[in-house]
Structure 1
Amino acid sequence: MKINPEHVVSLTYDLYVDNNGEESLVESATQEQPLTFLYGAGQMLPKFEENLSEHSTGDTYEFRLSAEDAYGEYDEEAVANLPKEMFSGTEVPEIGAVIPLQDNNGNRFRGQVVSIAEDGVIVDLNHPMAGQELHFKGTVLNVRPATAEELAHGHAHGPDGHHHHE
């Protein structure tokens, strides 16, 4: 079956990024733990879906997304100095730690601690893969029409359409 909007797609992928001229594998989805998503529901990068649009069950694929089409260019401005008081009552995070944050509008996001100053914690708010070209390789395992419930919820309920509660 061909991938179309309102279809649930299950696929494997290996995601590579350029690491000083060498490609390194940063993420994978396997046959045992595939990536399953509702195609066209806006959960995936638009260009990721666009590159899959001509594929069907059983197809292998390989494509690259520019930084612009993936997580955007690295933004030097997206580095914040958070006052140490924000961490009162908790330990100050270590350099390299990824911490959950919330802006004044209640939007949640993550930042990576890049350095710790006397009065503050410097956090990089860029996506960890900002500025990187992404290289995907994988196989389309399954394509099926979404169920009415999945369409109502706006997301896939697993490879077979059943929602499993842990």
Structure 2
Amino acid sequence: MGTWAAYLACQASNDAVNILPAGDSWGPDAWEEVAAPGWSVAETEISAVEDPEVVLAQTSGHALLAFVLDSDLAYVMGAADGETRWELYLNEHCAEAYDAPLPEVACAQNADLHRQIAVWIKAATGDIVSPERIQRVISTQRVFADDALRSLLYVFGIVTEHLSFGDDQSDL
């Protein structure tokens, strides 16, 4: 059985552990050790998050909320000042198996989405990440969506280490 978890990364003034609803398996885990300065990251079980928009509305500044489904698929939302600005799938090829609504344009092929995310990253972390690099990270199919999420957080500058379990890191 793979990972079924929800993750919240937000600017430290929001303190992700205090915003994310508690579940049976809840807490910062190893995330706080690798969170970039100015960020906090926490995780909980998916069932603890009834409404993602309610969680994101409690954040100020920039935040990222992700759901990992059985380590196969990750659904990721980026927000600013409590409002969702973009959404994407990691390991999008698995979305249909979970009855996830498919976007009109595949996330890996959506150049407008990549540009939106690049602007969000610049505002959120001060880092400049090219839309092409974002596209590479999004389109890399990994065995575990958990690893894809970790790569995404690393490329975005939200975590300082790429906590990988052996996946290819060529997208970094």
Q: Which has the higher helix share?
A: 2
TM-score, normalization by structure 2: 0.21
TM-score, normalization by structure 1: 0.21
Of structures 1 and 2, the larger Rg is shown by: 1
Q: Which has the higher strand share?
A: 1
